[in-house]
Chains A and B, each alone.
Chain A
Amino acid sequence: QQPVQSPQAVILREGEDAVINCSSSKALYSVHWYRQKHGEAPVFLMILLKGGEQKGHDKISASFNEKKQQSSLYLTASQLSYSGTYFCGTGNLDSNYQLIWGAGTKLIIKP
């Protein structure tokens, strides 16, 4: 039931692009993306709702493919500040107060 995130970890050079995927075995209503830096609280990035458009701000964007029950997070021209662990949380209409979280993708950006 937990969504599957891939890859588990990725190491990039500053300026390179990354894609993080989140796949669910259940029909999704919403997908939430958060980033957690080491020793800090998870911080909200964006929410994608069923029927909504692709979202993004600055050089981080995400898409939501309802048919495939998956979401992808795109980080373009990565910066050192993008380092951290990215989590997706998925929401279903039959558990409307709960998010089910993926195990996380650790992103390391090297100069």
Chain B
Amino acid sequence: DVKVTQSSRYLVKRTGEKVFLECVQDMDHENMFWYRQDPGLGLRLIYFSYDVKMKEKGDIPEGYSVSREKKERFSLILESASTNQTSMYLCASSPRPRENWYEQFFGPGTRLTVL
């Protein structure tokens, strides 16, 4: 079974803190994604990585950065957390670079609250 794990299920941070969300997949997938999920808006892509050290901006990259130093790990960084970044964050992975007709495997999500 493909497993995508995320470092925390729930996280509470203060405004201005630096926040790290970690995602690890065990299926040697090339593609990894970070999404933000808000009610009524569906899934919105923050960043995408198709290889180690490679990243591309998604629809809503402002206020976020990412790091992919190893193939299995993709980190999302909030440099200075703000209350409007309170949300559910989902990580996903899929095989084969740059092709969108493969299944994406999702992690359980991290519910981040910024106070």
Contacts and interface: CB of A to CB of B under 8 A. Distances in A.
Interface in B35-92: 35, 40-45, 48, 50, 56, 58, 90
B108 interface: yes
A104 B31 CA distance: 23
A91 B99 CA distance: 9
A74 interface: no
Chain B residues touching A, range = 20 to 34
Contacts of B104: 32, 34, 44, 89, 99
Contact of A103 (B42, B50, B58, B103): B42
Contacts, number: 61
Given A41-B90, A97-B48, A97-B50, A49 B43 contact: no
B43 A96 contact: no
Instruction: Name the interface size band of chain A.
Output: 20 to 34
A49 B103 CA distance: 12
Nearest to A5: B42
Interface in A65-111: 87, 89, 91, 95-99, 101-104
B34 interface: no
A47 B50 contact: no
B58 to A, nearest CB: 7
A67 B105 CA distance: 29
A42 interface: yes
A41 B100 contact: no
A57 to B, nearest CB: 14
A96 B101 CA distance: 9
A29 B100 CA distance: 9
Which of A32, A41, A96, A104 is packed against the most chain B CB atoms within 10 Å? A41
Given A34-B106, A99-B45, 15 more contacts: A32-B104, A41-B106, A41-B108, A42-B90, A44-B104, A47-B101, A91-B100, A95-B100, A96-B99, A97-B31, A97-B48, A97-B100, A101-B42, A101-B44, A104-B42
